[in-house]
Structures are given as structure tokens and as C-alpha cells.
Amino acid sequence: MAKNKDSKETKKDIPSQSIKWDLSPAPESKGHIKLQDKYDLFINGKWVKPSSGKYFDTTNPATEEKLAEIAYANDADVDKAVKAAREAYTNVWSRMSGAERGKYLFRIARLIQERAREFAVIETLDGGKSIRESRDVDVPLAANHFFYYAGWADKLQYAFPNRKMESLGVAGQIIPWNFPLLMAAWKIAPALACGNTVVLKPAETTSLTCLKLAEIFEEAGLPPGVVNIITGHGDTGAALVNHPDINKIAFTGSTNIGKIIQRAVSGTNKKLTLELGGKSANIIFEDAAIDQAVEGIVNGIFFNQGHVCCAGSRLFVQEGVADEVIQKLKDRMDHLYVGDPMDKNTDIGAINSKEQFDTIKRYVKIGKNEGNEIYESKCEIPSKGYFCRPTLILDVAQSSTLVQEEIFGPVLTVQTFRTVDEVIQKANNTQYGLAAGVWTDKGSKIFNLTTKLRAGVVWANTYNKFDPTSPFGGYKESGFGREGGVHGLESYLK
């Protein structure tokens, strides 16, 4: 145990957590991981070379080392995948009973559990997030989504009583890099439970766990063509969106690309759900349990490198406790472990890509140029790889660029408020509406805010809690449609 030499003296009435443990390295082992040098496309139950012959590298953002080469799908490959999905839909999957479909989903869920450690390690190697997060959040939740929707597959008539529900057909699904396996599960599980077939495109920086998921589909004996995985960049996604034989597009990603997709789909018969950006408010009232709230703030924005669309990236603190909360927050930030994502003690791993790393740096610079007070955690960071110190932007105005725009990194803006009406107005004054957090001792205050905050999810005295039974989705430019829960079935049925 060592005293952190950087820890600073705090106000007398606010006790400082001045101890930071010097922890020995505790890296998760990689010995059991088998990665190929090259990954092809998974179409019609087979591994198929891309028609262009092109591949791109996927790298480990913590070390900048190449992990594997990934096939780059073009229009012809997308067409092949959609045809396979259509054939599987018409001849096999839509004809199968719900109970039979459910059995495949249960099998997939169990296989994810069996290979959980392997998936967690690959997710961390490819995406940079801490092994703690991929092991404790991403992989178990992905398995749970398959379990949950497996249970619905033969009970759709109970989910929607007195309505005759039918599957849509072929779903094109495009996912981002922040939760690659989990987003794939969110999208594939309800689609299959409802009787649809799928063509899924993972993000270009994090294709590996989706390709590993394809191995599970093979192992589970899923009929060929029911799920097809095509890898590539934005143009591959665009080819999928524009393919005429797609019945539904489900997209999670940036608001800009969401708008492009919405324009592309308008005027067609394609059904659309969009889960886009966020700038979620985390609101701390004077009567809140302050230590828990500080932990909730850290969990909401820092533990996941800020790589969550619903990250609590705007902090609102009631004036009476502002000094205390900010001091405790700074203190906690100084005690976070930023570094090797494979180390089990690491709180904050690597930023997913050089591009995202540069974006975060650019925003912090904008904050400085706009005259805001910046507080960077004193924690050490590795010299190699893409790592960011947790950062506070203090005394920001509501109009500040950093309050208005999504940064997608461990950067938290801090504003104060006096009254409930004021904080509701400030929290809602954004183009987004994905999530919010409320910290208070009073249940009545919570219920008042949950009805007035324009956000798809409002957490009370907690943050970033997920469960397959709860619907998730946004208001305004955070998108439309819900994923998860019974609501998530509706998006895949007519």
C-alpha cells in the first residue's frame, strides 16, 4: 500500500481518500485465445472470400498492434448475403415453429456462456475496453439477451394479445464499436425470435467478436443463411441500407450517419429503428447520498472510457453540495487506474481508435479555447496506445460546445443549479434524449423528474444499469424505436 504522492490536500470538512494502492499487475491470460490471421465473410453458413479480394486490419488500440485481417465486403457480397437471408427466411426460418426457433436461441445463449472468457478477452483486445467491463457486463448481458428472447419465441401471441403478429422478412443490422458483441445480441436475438433472418454489419474497428459469434451459430447448427455477418466500412453499411430486398434496417451509431440512413430509407417500405447519440444528464440533488452519487458519476462516464451512447456526460449538481461533490469527484478521479485493458484492476482502458482519440483531444482543446476550467485526473497513463485521463470541464455555460455536442470519451461537463425547474430545463436543453440519472433521497422528486425529463431511460440513484427485460431507446436526435423488453419484439413484427 502506498500513499499517492499526487493526492492533494482537500478542505477540512471533506475527507480525502488519499490512499491509492500500488497494485501488482493482474493481466487476464490470452493463452486460450485462437485468432486466425484472416477472417472472411459469413454468408449462408459458410466462410466466403470477399469478391474484391480486399481485407483491412483490425488492431489492438492499447498496443497499436495488428490482430487480424478482416474481409471488406462490397455491393456484390452484400447482395449475396441478402439473397442467402431471403432464401433462409422463405424456406426455413419463417416456417419453423416459435418453439423450435427458441431452441436455437437457447443453444446460442448457452454457448456464449461456455465461451464467455474467450469472448471477453477478444472484446478487450479488439476494442480497448477494460477486461472487467467485457467480462462482467458485455458478455453476460449478451448471453442474457439470447436467453430472454429465446423465451419469447413461442409466446408472441401473449406479448401482443388479440393481435396477429407476423415477421417482417430480412433485417439489415448495423452496429457501432462500443459494445460489439452486446449490440449484435440486442439486434439478432429479437429479430430471430420473431422469425426474421439477418444480415449484420459490425463496425470496422471491432469485427472480431461478431465473427466469433458466427462460429457459435455454426456450433449451434443454426440453419445456413439465418444470420449472415458481413464486415467492412461505411460503404458496406450503405450498400446494406440501400439493398432493395431488405425489409427492416436497425442501426446504432452516430446521429450523422443515422440521418443519412433515414433519408436513404424514406420513401421505401423498409421499417427503421435508430439508436443514435446522447448527451445524458446526471443530476445530483442536495439530499442525495453523496458518496454513492460520486461513484455513480464515475460509473456513468469514466468506467467505460465514456464509450457509451447513454453515458452521463453532463453533470448537474445542486449548489449547496457542488463544492463537496466536485472535490470528492476529483479525488476519486485521481485514484482511478487507467491503463492495460487486460489487467483485471484497470478501471479505464484504451480509447477505441486513433480517430476517436483525436476527437476527444480536439474537444478538450475547444473547452480550453472557450475559456472553461479543465481538471485532468492526476492518474498515470501508458505512453503507448490511445489512453485519455478522466477530465472535468468546470463552470461551463449551457451554450458551450462541450455541453451541446457528444464527445464519446471520459470527459464530463459540470454545471450547477438551484431549483428543480431550472435543472429540468437545462437537462432537456439538448438535441439528444437518450438517458438521464437522478440522485435524491426523495421518491417524489424522482417521479416528478422521470415524467419531465425527455429521455428514453431515467435511472434513479444508479446509472448504466441494463437488463434484457427493459426497453432502451431515445427521444429527439437520439433516435426512435425501442430495443430490449417486449417493446424490442415490436420492432421486428408487423
Q: Can 405 be counted among the known catalytic residues?
A: no
- For 49: left if phi > 0, alpha if psi spans -120 to 50, otherwise beta; the answer is beta
Note whether 201 binds ligand ADP by CB under 6 A.
Answer: yes
Closest CA to 456 of 437, 428, 439, 475: 475
430 Cβ neighbours under 8 A, 6+ residues apart? 279, 281, 314, 403, 404, 476
Note whether 204 binds ligand ADP by CB under 6 A.
Answer: yes
Note whether 220 binds ligand ADP by CB under 6 A.
Answer: no
CA distance 84 to 172: 12
**Given 237, 339, 409, 474, the residue binding ligand ADP (CB under 6 A):** 237
Q: Which residues of 158-170 are buried (b: 16+ CB within 10 A; e: fewer)?
A: ebeeeeeeebbbb
Closest CA to 438 of 291, 301, 297, 279: 297
Q: Which stretch binds ligand ADP (CB under 6 A): 140-148, 191-199, 200-208, 448-456?
A: 200-208
Note whether 194 binds ligand ADP by CB under 6 A.
Answer: no
Which ranges of 268-353 does DSSP label H, i.e. alpha helix? 290-301, 319-334
Q: Which residue is nearest to ligand ADP (CB)?
A: 237
Q: Can 309 be counted among the known catalytic residues?
A: yes
Q: Which stretch binds ligand ADP (CB under 6 A): 93-101, 105-113, 235-243, 471-479?
A: 235-243
Note whether 230 binds ligand ADP by CB under 6 A.
Answer: no
Q: Which stretch binds ligand ADP (CB under 6 A): 29-37, 65-73, 127-135, 201-209?
A: 201-209
Q: Which stretch binds ligand ADP (CB under 6 A): 197-205, 266-274, 317-325, 475-483?
A: 197-205
8 A C-beta contact, residue 386 and residue 340: no
Catalytic member of 210, 309, 310, 388: 309
Closest CA to 337 of 16, 27, 30, 29: 27
Three-state DSSP class for 104? Answer: helix
**Given 48, 139, 170, 238, the residue binding ligand ADP (CB under 6 A):** 238
For strands 41-43 and 46-48, give the pairing.
antiparallel
Total residues at the site for ligand ADP (CB under 6 A)? 17
Note whether 59 binds ligand ADP by CB under 6 A.
Answer: no
What's the closest the beta carbon of residue 51 comes to ligand ADP, in angstroms? 19
**Span 123-182, contacts to ligand ADP by CB under 6 A:** 174-177
| Cα Dmax for the chain | 73
What's the closest the beta carbon of residue 234 comes to ligand ADP, in angstroms? 3
C-alpha cell at 217: 451459430
Note whether 407 binds ligand ADP by CB under 6 A.
Answer: no
Note whether 402 binds ligand ADP by CB under 6 A.
Answer: no
Q: How many CA atoms lie within 13 A of 73 on its CB side?
A: 33
What's the closest the beta carbon of residue 275 comes to ligand ADP, in angstroms? 10
Choice between 109 and 142, CB closer to ligand ADP: 142
What's the closest the beta carbon of residue 355 comes to ligand ADP, in angstroms? 8
Q: Which stretch binds ligand ADP (CB under 6 A): 15-23, 199-207, 222-230, 457-465?
A: 199-207
Q: Which stretch binds ligand ADP (CB under 6 A): 35-43, 150-158, 214-222, 236-244?
A: 236-244
8 A C-beta contact, residue 336 and residue 347: yes
Choice between 142 and 153, CB closer to ligand ADP: 142
Note whether 393 binds ligand ADP by CB under 6 A.
Answer: no
Choice between 30 and 259, CB closer to ligand ADP: 259
What's the closest the beta carbon of residue 254 comes to ligand ADP, in angstroms? 3
* Contact string 253-272 vs ligand ADP (x = CB under 6 A): xx--x--xx-----------
8 A C-beta contact, residue 388 and residue 305: yes
Three-state DSSP class for 181? Answer: helix
8 A C-beta contact, residue 74 and residue 239: yes
For strands 227-229 and 248-252, give the pairing.
unpaired
Closest CA to 216 of 41, 40, 100, 45: 45
CA distance 168 to 248: 7
447 Cβ neighbours under 8 A, 6+ residues apart? none
Choice between 362 and 384, CB closer to ligand ADP: 362
CA distances from 47 to 80, 81, 160, 313, 435 (A): 12, 11, 38, 41, 39
Catalytic member of 28, 123, 275, 324: 275
Note whether 234 binds ligand ADP by CB under 6 A.
Answer: yes
Site residues for ligand ADP per CB under 6 A: 174-177, 201, 203-204, 233-234, 237-238, 241, 253-254, 257, 260-261
Catalytically active residues, by annotation: 275, 309
